[in-house]
Amino acid sequence: MLLSERQHVLSYNGELLVFQLSKTKHVEGAADKTVKLCVRRMAFDRDTQLFVQMSSGAFSMRTKHSEAEIVCCDCATHSKTGIVLPCVLMKVKKQNGVFEHLLLLLHSSNWFEQCCHFKLDYELKEDVRLFAGPSVLWRHANKLFYISADTCTVLSAPVQLSSVVWTGEIEGEGTVVLGIRAACLPESEDGDEFSTSDRAIWGSEFFGYAIEMQKMLTGTCFMPHAYSRVVSSVCVCKNERPKKQLRISAVAITHKNQLICFQDGVPKGVCELPYEKPCLIKTAVTSSNDLLFIVSFSSGNVCVVRRENLQVTSKWQKVKSVLVDDFIGSGTEQLLLLFNDDSNADVLNMFKIMDFGKINYESGINYKDDVPAAEGLQENGLLTIQALETRLQAGLTCVRELQQHLGLKKRVILESCRALIDLVEGRSHILPSAKKEGLVSLWDDVEKPYSVSKEPSSTPKLQGHFIEKLWQRVVGDNLVVGVKLTESFCLSVHDISLSLVMDQDFSLVSPIIECRNKIIKVNEVFSALSVSSCQIEPPQKKMKLDLRSKNDLKKEFHKRSSRTQLDKTNTVTAVTNLSPLLAFHRVCCAVLLHAKKQKRRNGDFLKSKRITLFCGKILLNMEDISNGKYSVNMLKDNSYCTGSMEDIVAILTVSIRFSFQIQSSDCTLTRVNSWLLGEMDCVPFKECHDMVFSHKAGDIYGTVFSWTLKSPFEGVLTLFCRSLTVLFQCLHSLTRVLPPSCDVKLLKSGSKGILTEQLALALEKEMFTSRSFLSSKESKAENNLTRWNEPGRKISDPPVASLLDSEDGVQHFREKLQNEQEQCVLSMNETMDEENNQTIVPEL
């Protein structure tokens, strides 16, 4: 029996599987001979830099006067377990010309499982492929045949084809075969009218066939039909179905010695291959995340092409096989090249492992005796250098273009800033020509000065109508710039913000200063806290709950009203980081105010107009900062804090605001005020008594508090602190004062939201209370009306009967009923007040 001595090598999970048919001696007197399929599992040892055998196995079968051969081997998914396992297809030729085929599955224990057995009267030679199942696919007499381990029956696809260029999985379609066949022309086309050039192009076409679903797919989603005459092998790199549309990224090699990339059926790039007759293409993703195309040629040559630039990176000759796997266990793929070695029968005698990065292992190749190999290595080095030079030149060109583009952007922004400053200050400004910068002007490019008005600038006059004061403060590492606006101006505009623009001509720095804006209503920012925390209640109930007399209540209300009406002006602030500005030692900044001006016509608001106004300039230098000219001064003076309103606004601007609702079911909250004045060492502001400033040493110094009592059992504590660390310190100190029964709840930020939420809760409570007390009265009234409207029943009450005789009488009856309901509400409030007065309230 003649046995093939050829070894088949397969990579599986980083290991090498070497399959080989062994020779066996014929036993005298025995009619059969034994054929053994042996397998060796080899793993790469990084210490010895050699492949060592880990385990082995064998599969034996008896034959009579026959020849055995390994057709092919590959990895395929086992349909029963879903695990990818190595598969081997064997062929045994009988004396009667029949070919018997065995499909074997190799398990991890080196046990061979025979999963399929079939016979053919011809030899498998053309386009034999193994795929999931495991299954076998082949081409014979321009027909496509396949058999699966599940059915063990040879099936034929209803297609005629000349070659199979790819077999693999497509999302939503299963296993798909991409083949080439004669072009199927439309029936309406006449062959004589079809031009010679069209016949050359459409003489053949691509087609796809889904084996499991048994349906045809359009070949143009892979590549145009015009390439079907030259393509020899295809590799699908990626396929997906976004929005139920199939998108395919593929690469193909042609008989014209070219490698072509396709995206959704459109060619995207081409590379000239260094050798003739390319036959197979594989892909690999290396540790540097580079996608490589490995092309094998019929002559035993191999080359590698990078997807990034479609250039040949390396090439080798006398290569027996090329495999792709993680052979060294690094987590990424490497290339394994097995070279021909006539002096040694071991297929792993000469090899090379590489990923075109840090990984590079090779066996003991004698480069002195092998001159062609040395020349090939030198040529590979030149090709690599050329590819790197090309990538470097492309990168430098891209960097230069980006630098030019950024420089142009910078010059346009600087010129725009200069024009804006000149515009708001009323100075003339000459616009540069757009042609000098290589730009296209959107208006008439005439170099003439542009000014706001021919008359002298009216900016100082205009400032007096909307600005009361421009100030600046330094708080920590922040610069706070504030603009105090008049009440009339605030009523006519909205969406207000500030911008800081450096007045100096810095060519390397953008004049626009990044800052964040806040709008603070002086005094109203404090009184809003107390207003938002008050519930809307009936006057009688409110007086009883406050435990005060009418005179005291009137005095307190008058104080709050006068304090709220002291000042209704708004202050707009801009905060920026101070450190970058100190690098210039002396900085002059223009302060610009942006707003939307509301237009009215017949009492209705029209579309707002965006305006920009010049507020003035601020000067900043190291000497003034060192002398504390712009520092915030908060000193004690006769139980008050001497800070000005600008100092208060500056602290509130850079601080973070938190509001907490504190409720107690069995104790009053009088000790919270003692905690603020005692442990927190707080002193009220002289300008605003609602807020207190903490003089406690440490991180808490500078924290601003506001404590508003909503009732003896409920209040709102608002903190303005520098950081969350300070907040946690204050809360930790507060919890030691409050009893365990107190409930502390964080309120959402924003005074309008708090006011709306509190008002809705108060109205909801009143509504439920009123409805419960009025239900009896309403039911009684409905019963009376029902009795009055009963058929055949006369109204016995003469006054009521007389009222219901006319429309005016019915209206008078409704008013009488409404008065009774109001009296019911008043009696309900008196009842609740008597119960509250009888409650004994302990103090903290």
In this structure, are 749 and 642 located in the same domain? yes
- 521-540, pLDDT tens digit by residue? 655 444 434 333 333 333 33
Helix, strand, coil shares, percent, the chain, to 5: 30, 40, 35
pLDDT value of position 485: 85
pLDDT at 28: 57
Domain stops at, among 727, 756, 785: 756
One domain, residues 510 and 620? yes
pLDDT by residue (tens digit) across 574-595? 888 888 887 777 888 888 888 8
Say whether pLDDT at 544 is over 60: no
Among 233-247, 626-640, 739-753, 795-809, the minimum mean pLDDT is found in 795-809
The per-residue pLDDT for range 447-491, each reduced to its tens digit, is 444 444 434 344 445 555 778 888 999 988 889 999 888 877 877
Write the CA distances from 176 to 170, 180, 545, integer angstroms: 6, 13, 82
Helix (H, G, I), strand (E, B) or coil at 437: helix
Residues 622 and 661 both lie in one domain: no
Section 39-59 average pLDDT: 89
Residues 691 and 596 in one domain: no
Q: Is residue 843 part of a domain?
A: no
Alpha carbon separation from 208 to 82, 127, 772, 800, 821 (Å, rounded)? 25, 15, 76, 93, 84
Q: 372 in a domain, yes or no?
A: no
| Most confident of the following: 147-156, 165-174, 295-304, 557-566 | 295-304
The continuous run of DSSP H or E covering 244 comes out as none
Higher-pLDDT residue of 634 and 440 is 634
Higher local confidence (pLDDT), 244 or 276: 276
321 lies in some domain: no
Share of the chain above pLDDT 90, in %: 15
Which one of 756, 779, 811 terminates a domain? Answer: 756
At 376, the pLDDT band (50, 70, 90 cuts) reads: low
Higher per-residue pLDDT: 268 or 506: 268
Which has more confidence, 793 or 62? 62
Reduce the DSSP state of residue 762 to 3 states and report it: helix
Residues 206-225: pLDDT tens digits?
889 998 888 888 888 888 88
DSSP codes joined into one string, 286-331: -TT--EEEEEEETTS-EEEEETTT--EEEEESSEEEEEEE-SSSSS
- The answer to which of 17-31, 401-415, 800-814 has the lowest mean pLDDT is 800-814
Same domain for 58 and 122, yes or no, is yes
Degrees, nearest 5: CA angle 430-433-434 = 130
Give the per-residue SS3 of 630-651: CECCCCECCCCECCCHHHHHHH
Q: Is residue 674 domain-shared with residue 691, that is, in the same domain?
A: yes
pLDDT digits (tens, 9 = 90+) for 719-730: 999 889 999 999
- Return the pLDDT at 191: 43
Assign 653 to helix, strand or coil: helix
Average pLDDT value for residue range 650-663? 89
Residue 804 lies in a domain: no
Mean pLDDT computed over 161-171: 89
Asked if residue 283 is part of any domain, the answer here is: no
pLDDT in tens, 349-362: 888 998 887 788 88
User: Rounded mean pLDDT of the chain?
Assistant: 76
Residue 173 within a domain: no
* Cα–Cα distance measured from residue 399 to residue 393, given in angstroms and rounded to the nearest whole number: 10
Angle value at C-alpha 272, between 271 and 274, nearest 5 degrees: 130
Q: What is the pLDDT of residue 112?
A: 92
Task: Tell me what pLDDT residue 690 has.
Answer: 81
Give yes or no: residues 600 and 703 share one domain: no
What is the structure's pLDDT at 138?
92
CATH of the domain at 733: 3.30.70
CA pair distance 659, 522, nearest whole angstrom = 18
Higher pLDDT, 263 or 750: 263
In a domain, 586, yes or no: yes
Considering the domain architecture, whether residues 150 and 59 belong to the same structural domain is answered as yes
Same domain? For 593 and 654 the reply is no
Domain count, the chain: 3
Same domain, 677 and 571: no
The lowest-confidence range among 119-133, 135-149, 322-336, 383-397 is: 383-397
Of the pLDDT bands very low, low, confident and very high (cuts 50, 70, 90), residue 436 is low
Q: Which residue, of 741, 756, 771, is where some domain finishes? A: 756
Enumerate the H helices of 480-604 as residue ranges.
487-492, 524-532, 539-546, 550-564, 579-582
Predicted confidence at residue 147, as pLDDT, reads: 92
What value does the mean pLDDT take over residues 6-15?
88
Residue 281 has pLDDT above 90, yes or no: yes
* Max mean pLDDT range (344-348, 584-588, 779-783): 584-588
Q: Which two tokens stand for residue 218?
A: 């359009």
pLDDT tens-place string over residues 290-299: 889 999 999 9
Name the nearest CA neighbour of 715 among 638, 663, 650, 640: 663
Q: What is the number of other CB atoms lying within 10 angstroms of the CB of residue 81?
A: 9
How many Å apart are CA 377 and CA 686, to the nearest integer?
87
Residue 769 or residue 406, greater confidence = 406
- Rounded to an integer, the average pLDDT of 3-10 is 69
668 lies in which domain range? Answer: 635-756
Same domain (yes/no): 583, 660: no
Residue 301 lies in a domain: no
Is residue 472 exposed (0-12), middle (13-18) or buried (19+ Cβ within 10 Å)?
buried
Please state the rounded mean pLDDT for residues 21-40.
Answer: 72
Mean pLDDT of 644-663: 88
Q: What is the DSSP letter of 790?
A: S
Torsional sign, CA 520, 522, 524, 526: positive
Q: Are residues 642 and 586 in the same domain?
A: no
pLDDT band for position 177 (cuts 50, 70, 90): very high
> Among 403-412, 585-594, 650-659, 775-784, where is mean pLDDT lowest?
775-784
Q: Residue 302 pLDDT > 90, yes or no? A: yes
